[in-house]
Chain A
Amino acid sequence: MSGRIIPLRGEPHERIQALLPWFVTDRLDAAERAEVEAHLGGCVDCRTEERLERRLSAEVAAMPMDVEQSWARLRARLDRPSPYRDRGSGGGLAAAWRGLGRRLRGGPPWMAQPVHGGPPWMGWAMAGQAALMVALLAMVWPHAGPAPGVDARYHALGAASSTRVGNVVVMFRPDTPERDLRAALVADQARLVDGPTAAGAYVLNVPAARRDSALTALRRRAGVVMAERIDATGAR
């Protein structure tokens, strides 16, 4: 926290009150606990504060975590539409585990959730459609110049970008400079397909023939937290 630090170690009274949250949750060591108990024995104000603290602690711990209720309330406070996909929260742990399971098996993050509220298979269907488009284009368009496996076709800015399919997901450290990200992509002949996601992951396309070596190189980079292969077929 960059704000001003309160001198909590000044008056014993202030020091005790600063410890009260962890006194009521029984998370102080023996010496601190003894100090607080000794002070409370002779300080009416701090005993009052301790009673408030116990009630506040209990109320916060009992707060409901109804996602829908919280989200509806938060949305009502927003001045502008949410920039996030409204995925809802149905499914809880099971849905979350299924989503992570797809990622572990190789499905890209954007496949882990229904697309625009559609059924779960919608993402895979769209990915399959995109892959089919790539295959058809590869059959009717002659390749001229680019290295094998590298999709270097020209795309107008307004053209659909779904013809490049991600086959690697990577996450960089939050403080990684842009130049390092760019250097990693250039060195590994990677193209950005999707991302950053809200949690900071990127879906990349690298030439299939050098995907393993690109993954190895990415994982060795200091700024890379995670780099995994992804396949629309689900195979690792």
Chain B
Amino acid sequence: MARIGRRDIRAFEDLYRAYHPRLTRFLMTMTRRPPLVEEVLNDTMMVVWNRPERFNGTSRLSTWIFAIAYRTALGALRRQDQPLEDKDADQRPDSEPGPERQLGDRQVQAVLLSALDDLSSDHRAVVDLTYFHDMGYREIAEIMDCPVDTVKTRMFHARRHLKRILSGQLADWL
């Protein structure tokens, strides 16, 4: 970051290439809008390039960059009228019967992708940061600028939804 602060374009390119796969994955999961991913990703990295002094070292670099990406994606989704929160998540009954599906292993991924589409962008962000990026709930709360209990609650609802959709498969997992 010190080199980027000195406008070292090679250092910035290295950082860009290092974060591109992770940010693509995160933004893809969060926004579900491929045409938006590259633009949000590049806007995120433009902030890193133009405002390196804002990284003060009190958090991990990845936390800072992901927080920028999260806020940039939220802004982009707002402008596209994408629901940011799943207002009905709390109201869905636990006992709602899941679809009677007998899924093969090859179908699990497709069903998971479909189930993630039903979640809000905030819920998808928590799921992705937890399961794929291996982040703890405190770091996720810092990225999303929310209380840790909110992270846990979002994860609770997301897991419940995913498990309900995958109910036909769960017995095979045990």
Contact = CB atoms under 8 A, between A and B. Distances in A.
Report whether chain A binds chain B: yes
Interface of A: 1-6, 8-9, 17-19, 21-22, 25-28, 48, 51-53, 55-57, 59-65, 67-68, 70-71, 73-74, 77, 82-87, 89, 93, 95-97, 99-100, 103-104, 109, 112, 171, 174, 196-201, 225-226, 228
Contact of B174 (A4, A9, A48, A100): A48
B74 A174 contact: yes
B130 A21 contact: yes
Contact of A57 (B9, B50, B74, B131): B131
Nearest to A109: B39
Nearest to A8: B152
Given A6-B153, A6-B156, A65-B25, A21 B131 contact: yes
A103 B42 contact: yes
A21 B36 contact: no
A198 B16 contact: no
Contact of A199 (B36, B50, B131, B134): B36
Interface in B49-101: 49-51, 71-72, 74-76, 78-80, 85-87, 89-90
Pick the most buried of A51, A57, A65: most chain B CB atoms within 10 A of its CB. A65
Contacts of B25: 65
Contacts of A4: 90
B78 A62 contact: no
A9 B156 CA distance: 13
A2 B153 contact: no
Ranked nearest first, the 7 interchain pairs of A and B with the lowest CB-CB distance are A27-B136, A174-B75, A84-B35, A60-B131, A55-B173, A199-B43, A71-B34
A2 B39 contact: no
Pick the most buried of A21, A64, A87, A112: most chain B CB atoms within 10 A of its CB. A21
B17 interface: yes
Contact of A201 (B43, B132, B162): B43
A64 B65 CA distance: 23
